[in-house]
Structure 1
């Protein structure tokens, strides 16, 4: 093997990689927040007493979970303009990731909600709590606490999936790496460093989400 490894051109382009990493974190954070909100809404619709609402939620969840994420990205970015919705690459990336993530989160949260015993809800009502407070404090908060590790895994996976939005030229980390590769022709070094950065980001997301869980979902201690 006569190949000579040279990481110098990649490290010289650290600014472009840093911008891409920040864009990845930005896209992921917004999509996580919106996906969690929409996922909880979908869970409520999925368990609603009205059949049309349940049918809508089930249909949406099945559609998203059984189609490739890359196809969803292309549909939002290239297909929706035919219906009059024109988004730039970053907006399309955030919208697609939010819609995709919400379907998975809905099923995760639903499993947590189903673990709540009916007697707990009845006890909350007996204590005089309003219906919104019952669902807030007795249903959704304990449910999210129960499935929080699964949510964290889904969030990290979603962050890694941002690499696919480079296909529509969203200027995140993988897109930045592709630009450097096109300039330097150092594919091994570029994608080796790219993988290392994603590994670091995954660990940082895991630690950050774990800290959030300890603050908001841990049981109080005396």
Structure 2
């Protein structure tokens, strides 16, 4: 039995695939930026907040890390309308991705914060810096430099996991591919192309993040 590959129908929809890929990148970048802000606040609360705050943050992390991402998406998209909050697929996807990556990034940043020696914090306070300044300049910056590789890996994972939001018809790459497949019935061809697009995106961002690390963090270390 032989299979006749026909990519013409796929390449005829190339513009739609590029639009889907762009939305995937935009959605992932937005979720990572917002999720990073959430993670920094949660990491700060977990390392130096009062006990009730630490308990709530720990509960949030455990719930998100021990439940499927797809269930979290369904809860936001299908569950919230029952309490009167109806969201578009793209907005629901963004919120779900922020909530998800925020929990994982919190633990990454917490580990970076705890890697900073307490003597550096005490020295900053002794110099008259306010606690927020100490956290911003003495704790957060070195911590982010330490966990930068882990955060970039988390972004790549988030971008690949964004394919799950096609389950609620968010117009990202996989959802566009599903629509094309339902029209052309060329499943093998369309998903081969989509696999290649995801692979290219992952490699491009990996190279970009490596270049940023060399230019920013590694250069800073060398100057020291």
1:83 is displaced (CA, Å) by 1.4
Task: Tell me the CA shift for residue 49 of structure 1.
Answer: 4.0
Equivalent residue for 2:167? 167
Query: Does 212-221 or 17-26 show the bigger shift?
Result: 212-221
- Structure 2 gaps of 5+ residues are none
Question: Aligned to 1:67, what secondary structure does the other structure show?
Answer: coil
Matched residue of 1:217: which SS? helix
CA deviation string 1:194-220 (max 9, x = no partner): 100000111122223233434543442
- 1:179-218 equivalences under 5 Å are 179-218=179-218
1:80-132 deviation line (CA, Å, top 9, x unaligned): 11112111000000000001000000000011111111101111112222211
Taking structure 1 as the reference length, the TM-score comes to: 0.96
- Equivalent residue for 2:114? 114
Is 1:25 paired with 2:47? no
4+ long deviations beyond 4 Å: none
Distance of 1:67 and 1:119 partners within structure 2: 38
Of residues 42-51 and 179-188 in structure 1, the stretch that sits farther from structure 2 once superposed is 42-51
1:102 aligns to 2:119 (yes or no): no
Q: Is residue 5 from structure 1 mapped to residue 29 from structure 2 by the alignment?
A: no
Q: Distance in 2 between matches of 1:49 and 1:36?
A: 18
- Unpaired stretches in structure 1, ≥5 consecutive residues: none
Q: Which moved more, 1:1-10 or 1:66-75?
A: 1-10
**How many pairs does the alignment contain?**
222
Secondary structure of 2:48's aligned partner: coil
User: Structure 1, residues 54-87: CA drift from partner, whole Å, max 9, x if none?
Assistant: 0010000101000000000000000011112111
**Within 2, Cα distance between the matches of 1:49 and 1:178?**
45
- Deviation of 1:3 (Å): 1.3
- Segment drifting more, 126-135 vs 82-91: 126-135
1:135-161 CA distances to partner (integer Å, 9 max, x unpaired)? 011111111110110111101000001
| Within-5 A mapping of 1:84-95 | 84-95=84-95
